[in-house]
Structure formats: structure tokens, C-alpha cells
């Protein structure tokens, strides 16, 4: 990106720090038209983040512009990857305990000065402009974007809301209800939608950016004014009605008791929606309060857990061609995601019909991922149906995604001829990697790759190394996962690995509770009030009751520890073909979409929530004690990103330590006495601090 910035600036040389300076995060220069260009290029980082130091340096450049007014000011990025990924989250802890207010106020001052400059200010965005990066763009008069650009406020995922003017600048710029929706959900707005919402004033190809900047500097790109709906929402009673609707919807998805940030944002807009100055003061104070909340601290912890999984897969994987055996739901999505991320993929299946469905699915996933037509075309070109399995012999990585049947998988391995150095991996959710490796062409280059359904939406992949898997193979598979946009959790071979070992007791206990007469709606409501994204009965339906039954039976046959009895209702549903979401009927009717039960817990058993959650925690301690996961954080990573375990609690192990190990052990013993040996606390609890 730096190269083409220099190209369209002609004779202007952008210097770090400006005025010939050699240090800093901004490249600075004036072109022949008297336009001042500021290009953010944060040192020692592949992506730009907005920090206190970045704003301090920007402040000095704005002061220079005020003293020697240019014909226009342009802010953009010199990084190929995008404009700015948001604030430097690593600095948030230092801002806690009262330090945030001063730092935020300084940031507001800089953005206010940009907004007040007596020359046109233009922000050019390529790639993503998130959080503080989006707020920097909003402070400019005009926003020009290149195809593929996107905007978003992901702060809500950190237990926060925008803190550098986003709350009042975005609601003033576009339809306030749309602005609030973006901030409340944390969703990203891509190129076309950004233009339609009037966040972007024009979409231009990179080669035309310089001309578009000159046009904007002449005042010839006019921002659209807020429409009738926006003006109507400034009327207090209309805004109050919208607020009530927002509160109702947000409470369903993010209860205030667990997620205070979206509710605080709604309060801000309701109280100060017509008064920018008051909303600015309120935004700073509210952000500072939320920063010190346990929810935000835990969600920031989750952010760094995700980052550590990404870092585990950093580096080249040496894999350019993958071959996927099996074009069912899992195999097809694995193939599509690899093709989208630039891998050459061959996909084999005995029948041709699933291959046709896989290509159709590929186009749908590309659309869902907001790929351009050219990107979609290229991805589809890289995905080749291969009914005769010719590609297996030339692939760097072969992924077997056949049904969970040991003999079927072994039969596939018997017929495989791989090139020297190629890796074979099984997408297994419950079968032993060591048992499968017995028939693999090369045990050292064999491992499990446990993707989660749906592959295109669940980021986690368990990279399962068997006793014979060599370290190079395990590392390459982790890097492959990262290369296709997934989060690799390296775990050891063990019944259920980490995620299914911990999740199955949770699901099975829900079945036992139903057999005892507790309504499924009550069970699911209790789990969601704890903070799970959906209840265990709904989750079993979504996973597939046949898969849930298979995993439960596999664990019962593999573990010495007692498990809950497998429910007759579960078996009956599977035998009747009522498999959950994929068949339209399971424990719930799915004809109207995902069920969202909300039941009263007044008559629920007193120990209901602990009966669901503590077996999960007990299993987490077991896999840690057995060395299946390398550390407690690895367990938390796997459970948060594989199951959605209540993120605001920081993960099951973090929650256990916060609640108190001694208290949980006492509670498990009480449940053991009341309900049976399946609740007996694992001996690993004694080693936790």
C-alpha cells in the first residue's frame, strides 16, 4: 500500500513523522495541489491500531495544518491490510481505575480539531475501519472508500460502546436507528451498504483515489443530509418509542445483568440524543465506567485468548493444494473455506449430486462472506469437483470428512496413495486418532482436524495429535487452520478431545432433567440466564440428535468415569428420524426457525443451573488434568470459540477460579450425593489454585 500511495502522489515523498522526521506512525507530505496527506503506518505492526501515541502525533500534524492551512487534508492508511483495526486493546488495562477519562478527552479534542479545520477533510478507506478507526473517519467531512472497504463498531464485543465520538457522530450522519443497530450489534457494514447508508460519500477504484480527493477538496462531493426518518427520531416521544423497542430486543440477546454496554448506549441516546455536547460528556463517562466492569475485563480476556490462538498458527504452512474426501455438509464447507482463502482444492465424493450441491453452497458462502464478484469467481475457480479422487495423490494435505464410522474411514485410508511429505487428517469428532492412525499411510503425518458445524461460521478447529503424530505435522496443521481463517486449538487424543468431552455431559444432563419432568423450555432458559448462547436442548437439536447420540455412546464406551444415562427420548427421536434442525423436528419444531424459549424459573429445581454447568466444568478439569489441553487458557479458548461458553465469564476455567474451586468441589459432592457418581469431582480440582 505504501508503494501505491507514493505512486499517485507523484513527486511528493511521505516521510515518517513529517518535516523530515524519522520516527512516528504517520507518513506526511503535501502534493502539488497543496493538499496535505497523512498516511497512518504504525511501526512494527502488520495492521494499524489507534493508540494514545498515534493521537498525540496526529495532534501535532493537525496543529501544523492549522498554522499553515492546506487546500485539503487527507487521512488514509499506508498498510496493505486496511485502514485501522480499532483501538490498541492492550492499553485498556492501563486506562482502568480512573485513567480513561483524561485519555478519552484528549482523543476527543484531536477529532474535534479535525472536524473544525477550515479546509476540506477527506478520509480514504481501504479494507476495514473499525472502532476508533471508524471514529477517525467520521471526524472528516468526506469519506471515500475503495471496493472491499468496511466499517464497524465491535466495542460491544469487549463490553464497551464507542468512546471517541462514534455515539453522536454516527447518529448525526445517518439514520439514527441504523446507527444504533450497528453499535448495538457490532456488525460490519461492507462497501455497498456503507454507501447506501451514506457512511461513505463515494466508492472509487484505487487508481482514481487522487482524482477523487481533488474533487472532494474542491467541495464537489456533497455529503447527503439526514432524511425525514432521522429528523423524526429527534422528536423525543418518537425516540422514546424506538428506545423501548431496542431495549426489548437487546434484553433477549444480551441481558443487562450480563452485558451492560448496549443498555448504557441506549440510555445515552435516549437522554442526550438531541444535545451533542451532553452526549459527548456522557459517552466519555459511560465508557470509563464500563472499562472497569467485570464484563469488559472478561471480554477483553476473551479477545486476547482469540489472539493467542491466531498467533499459534502464524507462519507459512507449505500447503497449496488440499484434497477433501467427502462432500457432505462438513467436507463441502471445509473445501469452500479453503478455496475462499486461496488454497487450490479438489473435492471427491462417490456420488456426483453432493458435488453439485457443494458448488452451489460455495456460491452462497461467498455471498454471505461479502466477497466481490471477482473474489467469488476466483474462489470457485480454485474449487474443483474430483469424483474419481485423482487429486489425493498430488495434494499437500488430504482431509477425510467421511461419516463417523471407524471401518469406513479405515477403508478410505487403505486405498490412499499420497505424495512424499503429504499430511492426512481426519475430520473426526469422537473417534480415536490413534485407532485411525493404525491404517494411515504414515502415522507421523496423520492427525485429527475437528472442525465444528457449520464450518463457515464456527472459528475453532481442534488439531488433534496422536501418540505418533510428529510435531512438524501438528504445527503445519495449526498454520493451515490459521491460513483459512480458523482458530487452531492443539489438543491431545482423548475421548471427545476437549470440546465434546466437556459439552456432552451438559447435553446429557439436560436429557436426564427432561426425563425427570423438567420442561425443555425451563432447562434452556436456565442455561441462557447463566449466559450460554442457547440452551442444551436447542443445541442438541442444532448439532443433530444423531450426532449427539453417537458422541455420547462413544464417550460412554471409552471413559471409566460414569456418565448420565442416555435418554430413551433421545434414542426414540433418532430412530424416528427426528434429528433436530436438519430434519425440521427434534425436541423442538424448527419450522419457524431457531427456537428461543423464555420460561419462568419459579418452579425450577434449585440445583438446575449447577446440574447443567458443573458437569461441564468437571470435564474441563479432567482434560486439563489428563494433559489433553496444555493449560487452563487452552481449555477456555476451546470452550468459548467452540461452544460459545458464556464469554462475559471469561471461559469455564476462569469462571471456576472466580467462583472458587473449594466452593465448586463442595457443590459437586452435594450433587453426587443427591444424583449419583457422575457428579464426583475430578481429582484435578486439587491442583488448581
Catalytic residues: 429, 450, 462, 500
Say if strands 383-385 and 344-348 run parallel, antiparallel, or are unpaired. parallel
Cβ count near 411 (within 10 Å): 12
Environment class of residue 205 by beta-carbon count within 10 Å: exposed (0-12), middle (13-18) or buried (19+)?
exposed
Say if strands 188-190 and 142-145 run parallel, antiparallel, or are unpaired. unpaired
Q: Say which DSSP state 585 is in.
A: B
CB 336 within 8 A of CB 355: no
Cβ count near 669 (within 10 Å): 13
Strand partners, 589: 585
Instruction: Give the torsion through C-alpha atoms of 601, 602, 604, 608, to 10 deg.
Output: 60
CA atoms of 125 and 130, how far apart (whole Å): 11
Q: What is the DSSP string of 144-195?
A: EE-TT-EEE-GGGGGT----SSHHHHHHHHS-HHHHHHHHHH--EEEHHHHH
CA atoms of 159 and 261, how far apart (whole Å): 5
HEC sequence for 570-625 = HHHHHHCCCCEHHHCECCCECCCCCCCCCCCCCCCCCCHHHHHHHHHHHHHHHHHH
Q: Say which DSSP state 687 is in.
A: G
| Torsional class of 342: left (φ above 0), alpha (ψ -120 to 50), beta (otherwise) | left
Question: Hey, which bits of 307-408 come out as E strands?
Answer: 321-325, 344-348, 383-385, 397-400
Cell numbers of 411, please? 477403508
What angle separates helix 260-272 from helix 176-185, to the nearest 10 degrees?
160
Cell numbers of 179, please? 446507527
CA atoms of 39 and 588, how far apart (whole Å): 54
CA atoms of 595 and 252, how far apart (whole Å): 13
Name the residue with cell 476462569: 654
CA atoms of 632 and 624, how far apart (whole Å): 7
Contacts of 164 (CB under 8 A, 6+ apart): 104, 107, 108, 111, 132, 135, 136
CB 402 within 8 A of CB 349: no
CA atoms of 369 and 303, how far apart (whole Å): 21
CB 49 within 8 A of CB 42: yes
Strand partners, 74: 37, 122
Name the residue with cell 491500531: 49
Amino acid at each position: 500500500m505504501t508503494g501505491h500511495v507514493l505512486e499517485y502522489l507523484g513527486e511528493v515523498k511521505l516521510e515518517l513523522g513529517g518535516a523530515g522526521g524519522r520516527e512516528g506512525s504517520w507518513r506526511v507530505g503535501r502534493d502539488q495541489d497543496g493538499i496535505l496527506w497523512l498516511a497512518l503506518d504504525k511501526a512494527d505492526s502488520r495492521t494499524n491500531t489507534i493508540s494514545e501515541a498515534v493521537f498525540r502525533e496526529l495532534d501535532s500534524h493537525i496543529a501544523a495544518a492549522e498554522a499553515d492551512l492546506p487546500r485539503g487534508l487527507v487521512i488514509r492508511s499506508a498498510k496493505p491490510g486496511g485502514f485501522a483495526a480499532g483501538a490498541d486493546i492492550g492499553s485498556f488495562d492501563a486506562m482502568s481505575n480512573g485513567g480513561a477519562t483524561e485519555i478519552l478527552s484528549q482523543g476527543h479534542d484531536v477529532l474535534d480539531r479535525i472536524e473544525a479545520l477550515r479546509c476540506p477533510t477527506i478520509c480514504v478507506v481501504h479494507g476495514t475501519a473499525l472502532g476508533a478507526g471508524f471514529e477517525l473517519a467520521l471526524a472528516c467531512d468526506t469519506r471515500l472508500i475503495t471496493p472491499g472497504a468496511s466499517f464497524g463498531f465491535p466495542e460491544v464485543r469487549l463490553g464497551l460502546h464507542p468512546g471517541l465520538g462514534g455515539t453522536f457522530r454516527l447518529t448525526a450522519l445517518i439514520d439514527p436507528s441504523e446507527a444504533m443497530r450497528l453499535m448495538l450489534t457490532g456488525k460490519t457494514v461492507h462497501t455497498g451498504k456503507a454507501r447506501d447508508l451514506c457512511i461513505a460519500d463515494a466508492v472509487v477504484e484505487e487508481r482514481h483515489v487522487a482524482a477523487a480527493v481533488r474533487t472532494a477538496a474542491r467541495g464537489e462531493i456533497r455529503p447527503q443530509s439526514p432524511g425525514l426518518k432521522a429528523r423524526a427520531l429527534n422528536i423525543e416521544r418518537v425516540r422514546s418509542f424506538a428506545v423501548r423497542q431496542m431495549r426489548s430486543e437487546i434484553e433477549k440477546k444480551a441481558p443487562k445483568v450480563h452485558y451492560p454496554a448496549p443498555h448504557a448506549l441506549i440510555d445515552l441516546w435516549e437522554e442526550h440524543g438531541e444535545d451533542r455536547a451532553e452526549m459527548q460528556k456522557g459517552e466519555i463517562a459511560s465508557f470509563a465506567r464500563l472499562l472497569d466492569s467485570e464484563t469488559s475485563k472478561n471480554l477483553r480476556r476473551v479477545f486476547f485468548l482469540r489472539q493467542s490462538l491466531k498467533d499459534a498458527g502464524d507462519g507459512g504452512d507449505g500447503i497449496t493444494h488440499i484434497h477433501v474426501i467427502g462432500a457432505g455438509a462438513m467436507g463441502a464447507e471445509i473445501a469452500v473455506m479453503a478455496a475462499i482463502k486461496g488454497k487450490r482444492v479438489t473435492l471427491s465424493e462417490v456420488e456426483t449430486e453432493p458435488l453439485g450441491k457443494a458448488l452451489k453452497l460455495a456460491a452462497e458462502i461467498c455471498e454471505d462472506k461479502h466477497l466481490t464478484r471477482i473474489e467469488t469467481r476466483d474462489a470457485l475457480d480454485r474449487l474443483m469437483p474430483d469424483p474419481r479422487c485423482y487429486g489425493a495423490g498430488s495434494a499437500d494435505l488430504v482431509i477425510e470428512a467421511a461419516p463417523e464410522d471407524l471401518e469406513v474411514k479405515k477403508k478410505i485410508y487403505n486405498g490412499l496413495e499420497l505424495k512424499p511429505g503429504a499430511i492426512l487428517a481426519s475430520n473426526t469428532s469422537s473417534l480415536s486418532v490413534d485407532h485411525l492412525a493404525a491404517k494411515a499411510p504414515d502415522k507421523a503425518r496423520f492427525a485429527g482436524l475437528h472442525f465444528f458445524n457449520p464450518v463457515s461460521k464456527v472459528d475453532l478447529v481442534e488439531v488433534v495429535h496422536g501418540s505418533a503424530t510428529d510435531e512438524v505435522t501438528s504445527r503445519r496443521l495449526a498454520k493451515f487452520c490459521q491460513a483459512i481463517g480458523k482458530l487452531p486449538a492443539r489438543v491431545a487424543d482423548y475421548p471427545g478431545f476437549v470440546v465434546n468431552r466437556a459439552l456432552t455431559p451438559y447435553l446429557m444432563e439436560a436429557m436426564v432433567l427432561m426425563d425427570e419432568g423438567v420442561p425443555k423450555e425451563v432447562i434452556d432458559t436456565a442455561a441462557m440466564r447463566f449466559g450460554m448462547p442457547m440452551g442444551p436442548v436447542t443445541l442438541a437439536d442444532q448439532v443433530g440428535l444423531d450426532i449427539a447420540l453417537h458422541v455420547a455412546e462413544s464417550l460412554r464406551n471409552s471413559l471409566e468415569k460414569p456418565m448420565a444415562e442416555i435418554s430413551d427420548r433421545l434414542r426414540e427421536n433418532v430412530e424416528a428420524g427426528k434429528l433436530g434442525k436438519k430434519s425440521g423436528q427434534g425436541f423442538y419444531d424448527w419450522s419457524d426457525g431457531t427456537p428461543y424459549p423464555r420460561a419462568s424459573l419459579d418452579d425450577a429445581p434449585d440445583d438446575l443451573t449447577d446440574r447443567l454447568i458443573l458437569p461441564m466444568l468437571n470435564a474441563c478439569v479432567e482434560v486439563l488434568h489428563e494433559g489433553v489441553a496444555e493449560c487452563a487458557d487452552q481449555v477456555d479458548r476451546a470452550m468459548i470459540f467452540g461452544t460459545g461458553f458464556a464469554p462475559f465469564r471469561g471461559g469455564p476455567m476462569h469462571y471456576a477460579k472466580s467462583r472458587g474451586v473449594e466452593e465448586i468441589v463442595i457443590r459437586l459432592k452435594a450433587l453426587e450425593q443427591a444424583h449419583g457418581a457422575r457428579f464426583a469431582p475430578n481429582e484435578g480440582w486439587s491442583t488448581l489454585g
